[in-house]
Amino acid sequence: MSFRDKAYSDLMRELWGSPDIWNTKKSYTQIAAKLHVDEETVRNRVKHLRDLGFLLGYRLLPNPALLGRTFASLRIEFQDRESKQVAIPHLAKIEGVINIGSTYDKSVLVTLLANQDQDFPKLLVGMGVEGEVSWVPGLGIRTTKFRMTKLDWEIVSLLLRDAERKLDEIAKQLKVSTKTVKRRLNMMMKETAIFTMPMVDLRKTEGISYQLRVQSEQGKKSEVEKSVVAKIGNVVFRASDSQNGSVFGFTGANVAEGNDILEWAKQQPGVKSASVTIAERVVQVFDWIEDEVKRRVRATRIHGLGSERKMEETVGIG
C-alpha cells in the first residue's frame, strides 16, 4: 500500500496531524474508532510505516508554558540551497529549536519553543546566517497550569528522545514503581503538561512529499484552509508559518499532481499567493531541551524529594 492511499494518509493525519493534536498520543483503539476500522488494521498499517523506515518513533516534549515559552514556527528563505545546508547546523544551536524541516528549494521551517524576547533576525545575523525571516508565535498548543514535581521532570527527561520507552525501565532507573510512573504520565498528559511528536523520515515515503504554502487575505485564512483540505483529501500535516500563511503536507504520485494542486490553489477565493515545494527531511534537535529539563530537575531538588517518592520510600515500595 502507498501513502497516497487515503487509508494511509488518514492514519498519518491521526499519528502526525497538526500542532493542536500533538498533546494527545492516541491509542490504537481510539485511532481505529476514528477511522472506522478495527484495531488490528491500525496495528498492521503502523507496522508497515515502521518497516518502511518512515515512522521512526515518537519524542516527548513538555508544554512550553512550563518553561515560560510559547510554540512558534520560523520560516527562513535563503539565497540558495548551498547557504541553506550550511546554515542548518547553526540553526540547530539556537535556544529553543526542536526540529528543522528542510525542502528541496531554498527554505526551512523551524519549530521551536520560543522566548518572546528573542530577536530572530538579529540572532541569525550574529550567527552568520543570512536569510529572509518570518515567524508566527503560538501554534495552537493548549497552555497548562500543571505543577511539575521533581519526579515528573525526571520521567520527562528519560522520554525526550524516545516516548515509547518501557515504563518498567523508567521505574527501575528512578527507583519507583511502574504504577507510579504510569500515574504521573497519565496526570501530565491529562493536564497537557506533556505531548508526543512523531518523528518521520520523509525520504522513505512512497511517492513525493509536498509542502503547499498558501498566503491568505486578511480574515480568510480559516475558509481557505478548509477548502484546501477538502480539495487535497490526503493532507497529513497542517500548520501556520505566518499570521495569514498556512503550510499543508501531503503526498502525491508525481510532479504533475503537485503542479495541478498549486494551480488550483492560486485560483481560489481569498488566496493571495501559493507555492509548492518538495519536502526533503526533518532534522530533530534535542540538545537544548535536554539541558533545559535537566536544569528543572536540579532546581526542584532544592525542595527535596517529590511526594510520590517520599510515600513509596515510607511504605517500602521499590
The residue extents of the domains of the chain are 150-190+289-315
Closest to 134 (Cα-Cα) out of 120, 123, 115: 120
pTM over 0.85: no
pLDDT at 143 over 50: yes
* Per-residue confidence band for 91, with pLDDT thresholds at 50, 70 and 90: very high
Query: What is the per-residue pLDDT for 315?
Result: 38
pLDDT in tens, 168-207: 999 999 999 999 999 999 999 889 899 888 888 887 877 7
Q: Report which of residues 22 and 171 the model is more confident about.
A: 171
CATH number of 150-190+289-315: 1.10.10
Rg of the chain's alpha carbons, rounded to an integer? 21
Strands across the sheet containing 132-137: 132-137, 70-77, 107-114, 97-103, 271-284, 208-216, 245-252, 235-242
| pLDDT > 50? residue 275 | yes
Kindly indicate the confidence band of residue 59, based on its pLDDT and cuts at 50, 70 and 90.
very high
- Distance between CA atoms of 29 and 49, rounded to whole angstroms? 18
Q: Which pLDDT score, from 0 to 100, does residue 317 have?
A: 37
Q: Which of 5-14, 114-123, 288-297 has the highest mean pLDDT?
A: 288-297
- Residue 174 C-alpha from the chain's centroid: 27
- CA nearest neighbour of 227 among 241, 212, 242: 212
Average pLDDT over the chain, rounded to whole? 83
